[in-house]
Structure 1
Amino acid sequence: MLDDRDHTLLTLLQEDADRPIADLAARVALSPSACSRRIQRLEAEGHIARRVVLLDRARMNLPTTIFVLVKTSRHSPGWMEEFRSALATVPEIVEVHRLTGNVDYILKVVLPNVEYYDTVYKRLVSRVELFEMSAYISMETLKAGTALPTRFA
């Protein structure tokens, strides 16, 4: 069971995983060693899945986001595995969600420019049969983040 200190630590670590232990400890009123042990426990329990570096998309020349809606007429386990394998070969596809409703999947694709989408499209359709694909260019990001809420009202 997570307590208030755990929630605060998780929130702080999501903001900056490189924050010094002394700073974290001060923020949750613990000694640095007790704070370190608590973080190790949160990792061991799986609350902290991993620590990563977030890259600046503009500096990495990937400013364009395209969302692709995919419909398929196939839903067999074999086809789904083929689809997962095809997705894994295209690094520009950074997220994929299976949906309810009249669209089966939504893909988030990051690219250097809109024209590059054709390259990604050809790579994907050469590996897996899809019924219909519709691409939507993101004009502006209104909210983006990686932090999860740690408390609920």
Structure 2
Amino acid sequence: MLDDRDRKILSLLQSDGGMSVAELADIVNLSVSACSRRILRLESEGYILGRKAVLDRTKMGVPTTVFALVKTARHGDDWLAAFHRAIANIPEIVEAHRLTGNHDYILKIVLPRVEHYDVIYKQIIRQVELFDVSASISMEALKESGALPVGYAV
């Protein structure tokens, strides 16, 4: 069961995964060793799955975001496996979600420029048959924290 200090540690690590244990301990009013033990427990219990660096997309050369909405007429295991393989091997596809409603999948694609979307589109359709794909270009990211709310954790 998590307490308020655990939640604070999780929140702080989401905002800055490189924060030292000493800094965390100071903020949550724990000794360094007690804070370190809590972090290890949070990792072993699966609350913390890993740590990663957040890269600057402009400096990485992929400032453009396109969301592709995908419809398929096929839902069999073979098609699904091929679709998973296709999107897994395209690094520009940074997120993929199966949906309810009018579309089957949404892909978040990061690109050097919007014209590069056609390259990604062709990579996908060479590997799997799609019924329909429509794409929308993100004009502005209003929120991209990636941080999860910690208040619901049990």
- TM-score (ref. length: structure 2): 0.96
* Aligned length, in residue pairs: 152
2:48 partner letter: I
Question: What secondary structure is seen at the aligned counterpart in 2 of 1:11?
Answer: helix
Which residue does 1:27 correspond to in 2? 27
What residue in structure 1 maps to residue 9 of structure 2?
9
Secondary structure, counterpart of 2:73 in structure 1: coil
Return the letter of the residue paired with 1:102: N
1:51 aligned counterpart, secondary structure:
coil
Cα distance in 2 for residues equivalent to 1:3 and 1:78: 45
Mapping for residues 1-153 of structure 1, pairs under 5 Å? 1-152=1-152
Give the SS at the match of 1:126. helix
Distance (Å, rounded) in 1 between the aligned partners of 2:64 and 2:41: 39
Structure 1: unaligned runs, 5 residues or longer: none
Structure 1: 4+ residue segments shifted above 2 A = none
Cα RMSD for the two superposed structures: 0.8
Between the aligned partners of 2:5 and 2:57, the Cα distance in structure 1 is: 33
**Cα deviations across residues 92-126 of structure 1 (Å, max 9, x unaligned)?**
00001100011100000000001111110111100
- Other structure's SS at 1:33 match: helix
**Structure 2 unmatched ranges of 5 or more:** none
| C-alpha deviation, 1:26, in angstroms | 1.2
Report the TM-score when normalising by structure 1: 0.97
1:63-86 per-position Cα deviation (integer Å, ceiling 9, x unaligned): 100000000001111211111001
